[in-house]
């Protein structure tokens, strides 16, 4: 349970403003225009965020967050974390990689202590963090490492779909070897558990994709279904899980099949996410399942070409804040 809330009794959500050269800071500015079920606190450099607000024509006041001050319309609460070097819209600088990671670390610490009910992340740029000499493959993997979580599951939500991934940021040539019986079983257990605990689905129904075209065509197009996927599904079905598959990925997303499930498990990143992003881009949400904390994120990148223009769409960030609040309430009701 959370041990900190604002004076208006709303639990707090940490919102990391992400890559300072990208659209994250100006998207966070837009949070001040709405009343939220939980109070968002933006983590970032207060001067940077104020400057992006001014540049985008947003009329608001940026103030240092204090839990004893009530939320106000037109006022953005910022937990100040200073930049390493000044940031220019659209111009990446590896010197600020440490700043970006410090936002994540502060949000994680606040969630684990109960200060925050959950965290929402604006986009970061993986390449510039790696250029700074820090191995970084994404938020999902970083959050798992920092919380000591052995396995997490990436799931995107939008357009009426929930799509989880058995593998995430891997080259396609490495996917087959990465889908082991242990990985697949752990992924399905985490997905099943969190659909129940964080989304209120008492008996989740999961559609499971095959890896190969036509789900292997009886072994003629690959044996991963026969050797790995089917045995795992049979074992978990025997425990009572409702699992349909392995299904050919090219027909899994037709309406008739989707009606039979509450979520889809795709075997790799570009098997499931193109469909979801086609259905919901700009309004989808990335969720990390399996963590001891609630974490949601936007479904898009840093959009360096839009940074500083004021034209970036805040729809995905707004959806991520709403979903984080819903998940946090569910976790509080069923710890």
Which CATH entry fits the domain spanning 153-290: 3.40.718.10, 3.40.50.620, 2.40.40.20, 3.20.20.60?
Answer: 3.40.718.10
CATH homologous superfamily of 1-149+294-335: Isopropylmalate Dehydrogenase (3.40.718.10)
- Token pair listed for 244: 């349909």
Q: What is the pLDDT of residue 282?
A: 80
CB-based contact 87:24 (threshold 8 Å): no
- Res 60: pLDDT: 84
Whose CA is closest to 60, among 89, 90, 25, 86?
25
Tell me what pLDDT residue 302 has.
Answer: 96
Say if strands 118-121 and 242-247 run parallel, antiparallel, or are unpaired: unpaired
Q: What residues does each domain of the chain span?
A: 1-149+294-335, 153-290
* pLDDT given at position 283: 87
Give the Å distances, CA to CA, from 44 to 4, 25, 102: 20, 8, 9
Please list, in sequence order, all residues whose beta carbon lies within 8 angstroms of the beta carbon of residue 141, skipping any fewer than 6 positions away: 152, 168, 169
The neighbour count for residue 54, using CB atoms within 10 Å, is 13
Three-state SS at 88: strand
Given this model, what pLDDT does residue 90 score?
A: 96
How far is the C-alpha of 135 from the C-alpha of 210, rounded, in Å? 31
Residue carrying structure tokens 């009886």:
218
Handedness of CA 17, 22, 25, 29 (dihedral sign): negative
Q: Is 39 in contact with 71 (CB distance < 8 Å)?
A: yes
Intervals of the chain under pLDDT 50: none
Alpha carbons within 13 angstroms on the beta-carbon side of residue 23 total 22
So what's the pLDDT on residue 68?
85
The pLDDT, as a whole number, for residue 146 is: 96
pLDDT at residue 139, rounded to an integer: 92
pLDDT in tens, 227-251: 999 999 999 999 999 999 999 999 9
């Amino acid at each position: 349970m959370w041990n900190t809330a604002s004076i208006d009794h709303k639990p707090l959500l940490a919102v990391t403003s992400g890559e300072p050269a990208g659209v994250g800071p100006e998207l966070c500015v837009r949070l001040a225009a709405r009343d939220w079920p939980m109070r968002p606190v933006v983590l970032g450099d207060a001067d940077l965020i104020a400057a992006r607000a001014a540049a985008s024509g947003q009329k608001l006041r940026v103030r240092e967050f204090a839990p004893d001050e009530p939320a106000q319309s037109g006022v953005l609460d910022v937990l100040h974390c200073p930049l390493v070097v000044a940031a220019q819209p659209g111009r990446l600088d590896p010197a600020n990689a440490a700043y970006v990671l410090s936002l994540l670390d502060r949000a994680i610490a606040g969630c684990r202590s109960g200060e925050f009910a959950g965290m929402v992340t604006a986009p970061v740029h993986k390449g510039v963090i790696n250029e700074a000499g820090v191995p970084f493959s994404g938020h999902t993997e970083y959050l798992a490492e920092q919380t000591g979580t052995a396995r997490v599951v990436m799931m995107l939500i939008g357009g009426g779909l929930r799509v989880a991934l058995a593998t995430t940021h891997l080259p396609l040539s490495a996917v087959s070897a990465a889908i082991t019986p242990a990985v697949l079983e752990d992924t399905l257990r985490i997905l099943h558990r969190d659909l129940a605990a964080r989304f209120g689905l008492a008996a989740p129904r999961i559609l499971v994709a095959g890896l190969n075209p036509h789900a292997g065509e009886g072994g003629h197009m690959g044996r991963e279904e026969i050797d790995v996927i089917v045995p795992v599904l049979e074992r978990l079905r025997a425990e009572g899980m409702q699992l349909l598959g392995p299904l050919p990925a090219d027909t899994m997303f037709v309406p008739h099949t989707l009606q039979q499930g509450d979520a889809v498990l795709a075997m790799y990143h570009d098997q499931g996410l193109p469909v979801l992003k086609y259905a919901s881009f700009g309004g989808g949400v990335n969720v990390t399942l399996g963590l001891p904390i609630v974490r949601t994120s936007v479904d898009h990148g840093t959009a360096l070409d839009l940074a500083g223009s004021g034209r970036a769409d805040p729809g995905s960030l707004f959806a991520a804040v709403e979903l984080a609040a819903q998940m946090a309430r569910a976790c509080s009701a069923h710890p």
